[in-house]
Amino acid sequence: MLSKNAKKIINNYLSLPFKNKGGVQCPYFNNARSKQRGQLRSLVGKGTPKEIIEEVEILTKQYGINLENLNTEEIKKFLVEHNLGIECSGFITNVLQQHYLEKDKINLIKKIFIPTKNFFRKIIVSFRKIENINVKALANPKNSILVKDWKKVQAGDLIIMLQTGPNNTRDHIILITGNELSIIKYVHARQWSSEGKYHHGVQTGEIKVTNPQKNLLNQTWTEKEKQGENNETFMEAKNAKILEIRRIKIN
């Protein structure tokens, strides 16, 4: 079971805690497209809800926009247009960081092993750890172990999809939040092509175990009331060259 603070941060991503304003879903943002270097964490898709809100407050102040006058839709639009959001591995790292800090007093971000090409990268990584944690790093055997029986997944486990997307160039990661009564619940940060420019972000979903004898892809995936080919998360899982369930291993 995920810790109280981990659940709280998930809820904060699902509905960013702006003052007097609820229901702003944290959008998806991946820095791979804009390739910002040495930027603020919140501007490269790795920020916590608090950091994202702080950046919105600073930017709106600079633009002379009164945040109080914006509705949730407008705030979401503002976030997307200013590259404020979270990407899948950033979201999961921030949630699990809270989980392990509360549960075991362990700083997960410090513990995660990040493979580096050279000494220079190693120095950069030592300063900007979270910014360099990606799906591959979380899937690295030094950081997580394979859960062979998918039916035994538990809250905190990760569904890892490597080489997925239309051209098999993307990686994606999903966090399991519960597994009860044959329903596996999950949460992740993602962008569906069918959602347009503004309606993506952190989203919950579930996998109903309908064929326990078969693999995970033969179960019923439901997200935003969509199933089968309309469910892009399921399609990503289906397209992935490697689909695994892994559990974080603390060294």
Partner 1 sequence: MFEINSMIEACSPFSVHLLRQAFIFTMAATVGAFLWAPFLTKILYKYKITRRSEFDFTLRGERRKKTGTPIMGGLLIIITVTVITVLFNWSREYTYVPIGAMGIAALLGAADDLLNIFGKKRRIKKLSHIIKLSHVHKVWYIRLWYKLTIPWAAFRRFVGMFGSHPGKGILVHEKLFFQGLAGAIVAWWIYFKLGSHWHSIWIPFDGQIHLGWLIIPLVIFFVAFTANAVNFADGLDGLAGGSLIASFSGLALISWAEGRPAFTLLNATVAGALLAYTYFNIKPARFQMGDVGSLGLGTLLAVNAIAINKTMLIPILGFIFYIEIFSVIIQVISKRLLGKRFFKMAPLHHHFEFRGWSEEKIVMRFWIINVFFVIVGVWMALY
Q: Which two tokens stand for residue 229?
A: 């080919």
The nearest distance, CB 211 to partner 1, in angstroms, is 44
The nearest distance, CB 172 to partner 1, in angstroms, is 23
The nearest distance, CB 63 to partner 1, in angstroms, is 5
The nearest distance, CB 128 to partner 1, in angstroms, is 6
Nearer to partner 1 by C-beta: 61 or 197? 61
Residues 216, 220, 225, 231, CA torsion sign:
positive
For 25, list phi and psi in degrees, rounded to 5: -70, 135
Q: Give residue 161's Cα distance to chain centre.
A: 13
Nearer to partner 1 by C-beta: 51 or 244? 51
Q: How far apart are CA 152 and CA 245, in angstroms?
A: 10
Nearer to partner 1 by C-beta: 31 or 219? 31
Nearer to partner 1 by C-beta: 122 or 197? 122
Nearer to partner 1 by C-beta: 36 or 211? 36
Nearer to partner 1 by C-beta: 90 or 205? 90
The nearest distance, CB 49 to partner 1, in angstroms, is 15
Helix (H, G, I), strand (E, B) or coil at 208: strand
The enclosing H or E element of 144 equals: strand 144-146
Q: Which two tokens stand for residue 246?
A: 């892994």
Q: Give residue 106's Cα distance to chain centre.
A: 20
Single-letter code of the amino acid located at 28:
Y
The nearest distance, CB 71 to partner 1, in angstroms, is 20
Beta strand pairing status for 144-146 and 183-190? Answer: unpaired
Q: Which two tokens stand for residue 2?
A: 């995920």
Q: Which two tokens stand for residue 92?
A: 């999961």
Whole-number Cα distances in Å, 72 to 9, 16, 21, 76, 232: 19, 10, 7, 6, 25
The nearest distance, CB 125 to partner 1, in angstroms, is 12
Under the rule (CB under 8 A), what is the footprint of partner 1?
38-41, 44, 46, 51, 54, 58, 61-65, 127-128, 130-131
Nearer to partner 1 by C-beta: 70 or 187? 70
